């Protein structure tokens, strides 16, 4: 493993396609075409920026950039890790070009459920656990939309106790603390209530990605819409679902 400043470089293969209907201005660029990179651009040499995503397994505010480039005639993707400031949680979003970016949200804003200055809605569910007497339980948290917006939807399952301790400044929030993340028994899925529209979804094939609801696209949402998040939990788990409905139009 090579280290560049505070970022870790991993050699990996990574392909991800965001889809869904109805979306707002879908980006039809191929995976190898230029995207809208962060400023400053984290990629080095001749590599091209592909995406930025959260990694809650390493910590609630940890994220990584994926940079694609050619090595010895083969195309590979490299990961560069970094993290949000202390007392912030990382949320996955899609920008106005449908590129994958992240936003760092204050823990206090999540607990209070807040509408941000740009019209985005962030918050956290009530604590959830498996029902008494059952080893696993399918649970749900719902979020009401109170305004019209073009937005992407994401969520991550976090430990209630450590989230509270971090908010009260009893422990450090940044770094690679795996105990913040709770493994979902069933993958997290977000639907618009009463429709077949899936606005975000985890990856059941990889446990570390099942606890994250990744945006499937950007959607026109309006007052009266309700986003239903569902996932599975086991006994002894107590978690909160931190969500971000990020407005881009």
pTM: 0.76
Q: How many Å apart are CA 85 and CA 88, to the nearest integer?
A: 6
Q: How far from the centroid of its chain's Cα atoms is residue 131's Cα?
A: 26
- pLDDT on residue 54: 92
Alpha carbon distance 161, 91 (integer Å) = 19
Integer Cα distance of 153 and 247 in angstroms: 9
Q: Tokens for 124? A: 């956290």
Q: Quick check: helix, strand or coil at residue 180?
A: helix
Q: Where are the alpha helices (DSSP H) in the chain?
A: 107-112, 160-167, 207-210
pLDDT single digits (tens) 128-171 = 776 766 667 788 999 999 999 999 999 988 876 555 555 555 44
The reported pLDDT for the residue numbered 206 is 76
Question: What pLDDT is attached to residue 85?
Answer: 87
Report how many domains make up the chain. 1
Q: What is the pLDDT of residues 183-207, one digit of tens each?
A: 667 789 999 999 999 999 998 777 7
What distances in angstroms separate CA 161 from CA 100, 182, 238, 244, one per listed residue?
29, 11, 8, 20
- In the DSSP assignment, the letter for residue 128 is B
Residue 243's nearest CA partner among 78, 132, 128 is 128
The domain of 85 spans 2-247
Question: Quick one: pLDDT at residue 107?
Answer: 75
C-beta separation of 142 from 225 below 8 A = no
* 161, two tokens: 């106790």
Q: Kindly provide the residue ranges of all beta strands, DSSP E only, lying in the chain, ordered along the sequence.
A: 2-4, 7-12, 48-54, 62-71, 74-83, 88-94, 100-106, 114-115, 121-124, 136-144, 149-159, 189-192, 198-201, 212-215, 219-221, 226-234, 239-247
Look at residue 63 in the predicted model and tell me its pLDDT: 93
Structure-block tokens of residue 76:
């590979």
In this structure, what token pair is assigned to residue 208? 């570390």
Mark the ranges of the chain whose per-residue pLDDT is less than 70: 1-35, 130, 132-135, 160-184
The pLDDT assigned to 233 comes to: 79
Query: Looking at residue 133, what is its pLDDT?
Result: 64
> What pLDDT does residue 205 have?
78
Question: How many residues are present in the chain?
Answer: 249
pLDDT score, position 170:
47
């Amino acid at each position: 493993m090579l280290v560049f400043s505070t970022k870790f470089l991993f050699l990996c293969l990574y392909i991800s396609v965001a889809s869904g209907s109805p979306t707002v201005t879908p980006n039809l660029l191929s995976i190898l075409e230029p995207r809208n990179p962060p400023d400053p651009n984290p990629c080095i040499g001749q590599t091209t920026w592909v995406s930025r995503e959260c990694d809650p397994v390493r910590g609630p505010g940890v994220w990584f950039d994926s940079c694609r480039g050619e090595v010895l005639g083969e195309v590979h993707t490299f990961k560069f890790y970094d993290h949000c400031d202390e007392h912030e949680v990382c949320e996955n979003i899609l920008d106005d070009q449908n590129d994958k970016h992240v936003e760092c949200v204050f823990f206090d804003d999540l607990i209070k459920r807040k509408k941000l200055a740009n019209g985005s809605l962030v918050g956290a569910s009530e604590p959830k656990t498996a029902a008494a007497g059952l080893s696993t339980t399918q649970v749900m948290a719902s979020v009401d939309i109170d305004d019209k917006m073009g937005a992407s939807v994401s969520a991550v399952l976090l430990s209630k106790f450590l989230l509270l301790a971090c908010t009260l400044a009893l422990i450090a929030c940044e770094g690679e603390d795996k105990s913040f993340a709770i493994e979902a028994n069933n993958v997290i899925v977000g639907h618009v209530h009463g429709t077949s529209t899936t606005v975000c979804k985890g990856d059941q094939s990889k446990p570390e990605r099942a606890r994250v609801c990744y945006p499937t696209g950007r959607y026109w949402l309006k007052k009266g819409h309700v986003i239903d998040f569902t996932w599975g939990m086991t006994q002894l788990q107590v978690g909160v679902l931190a969500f971000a409905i990020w407005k881009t139009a």
